[in-house]
Amino acid sequence: MQILLEIVYYLATVLTWIIVIQAVLSWLVAFNIINTTNEFMRSVLYALDRITAPIYAPIRRIMPDLGALDLSPLVVLLILYIIRNIIIPNLMMSLA
């Protein structure tokens, strides 16, 4: 059971980094620092979107529309923080 919790912990860590990288890249695209006509960058952005879109979708349905401001990555990061730093350590302590 402890190995399963460690796997969930590491997957949450990887997902956190994916969300942060996607946010930074989207800001760079918005400020025209990264050109989306570059095939490599377009494929990276597409892959990140394919990974995160199923995670953001339920949160976007619940949250009100704020126009161009999308808070779903922030909500997902908060949930991942709670899972990684509160739930998993408490479960590990109870198993020890």
Distance in angstroms between the alpha carbons of the first and the last residue of the chain: 11
Rg (CA), the chain: 16
Domain residue limits, the chain = 2-95
Summarised one tens digit per residue, pLDDT across range 9-53 is 999 999 999 999 999 999 999 999 999 999 999 999 999 999 999
Summarised one tens digit per residue, pLDDT across range 86-96 is 999 999 999 97
**pLDDT given at position 96:** 79
Summarised one tens digit per residue, pLDDT across range 75-88 is 999 999 999 999 99
